[in-house]
Amino acid sequence: MLSRALLPLRAFLGFTFCFAGLQKLANPGFFQASNPGSIQAQLAGSVRRSPIHPLISPLTHVAVLLGLVIAIAELAIGLGTLLGLWQRLAAVGGVALSLMLFLTVSFHSSPYYTGADIVFVFAWTPLLLAGAGPLLSADAMIEARARTPRGGRPSKRLSPEEASRREVVLKGTATAVAAVAGLVLGGVVAGLGRLAGGTKNSSVTAPLPEAQANSTLSSSPAQSASAPKVSPSASGSSGSGGGHPAGTAIGAAKDVPVGGAASFTAPGTGDPSIVIHATAGKFVAFDAVCPHAGCTVQYDQSQALIVCPCHGSQFNAATGAVEVGPAATGLTAIKVTEGNDGQLYAT
Q: Which residues contact 272 (CB under 8 A, 6 or more apart)?
A: 36, 41, 44, 45, 263, 265, 266, 287, 288, 289, 296
Q: How far is the CB of 330 from ligand FES (least distance, A)?
A: 12
Q: Identify the residue among 48, 49, 229, 311 touching ligand FES (CB under 6 A).
A: 311
Angle of the 39-49 helix axis to the 87-104 helix axis, nearest 10: 60
**In this structure, how many other beta carbons lie within 10 angstroms of the beta carbon of residue 321?**
12
Does 295 interact with ligand FES (rule: CB under 6 A)? yes
Q: Cα(114)–Cα(310) distance, rounded to whole angstroms?
A: 10
Using the minimum distance from each CB to ligand FES, give the nearer residue, 102 or 345.
Answer: 102
Does 290 interact with ligand FES (rule: CB under 6 A)? yes
Does 308 interact with ligand FES (rule: CB under 6 A)? yes
**In this structure, how many other beta carbons lie within 10 angstroms of the beta carbon of residue 200?**
17
**In this structure, how many other beta carbons lie within 10 angstroms of the beta carbon of residue 128?**
16
Strand partners, 200: none
Cα Rg of the chain (Å, integer): 25
Using the minimum distance from each CB to ligand FES, give the nearer residue, 106 or 203.
Answer: 106
Using the minimum distance from each CB to ligand FES, give the nearer residue, 184 or 321.
Answer: 321
Q: Identify the residue among 222, 327, 334, 344 touching ligand FES (CB under 6 A).
A: 327
Using the minimum distance from each CB to ligand FES, give the nearer residue, 103 or 249.
Answer: 103
Task: Tell me the per-residue interface mask from 169 to 208 with ligand FES, x by CB under 6 A, - otherwise.
Answer: ----------------------------------------
Does 293 interact with ligand FES (rule: CB under 6 A)? yes
Q: Cα(8)–Cα(132) distance, rounded to whole angstroms?
A: 11
Does 289 interact with ligand FES (rule: CB under 6 A)? no
Does 310 interact with ligand FES (rule: CB under 6 A)? yes
Near ligand FES by CB under 6 A, which window of 125-133, 195-203, 273-281, 287-295? Answer: 287-295
Q: Identify the residue among 56, 313, 320, 322 touching ligand FES (CB under 6 A).
A: 313
Q: How far is the CB of 47 from ligand FES (least distance, A)?
A: 16
Q: State the number of binding residues for ligand FES (CB under 6 A).
A: 11
Q: How far is the CB of 114 from ligand FES (least distance, A)?
A: 7
Q: How far is the CB of 219 from ligand FES (least distance, A)?
A: 22
The footprint of ligand FES (CB under 6 A) covers: 290, 292-295, 308, 310-311, 313, 326-327
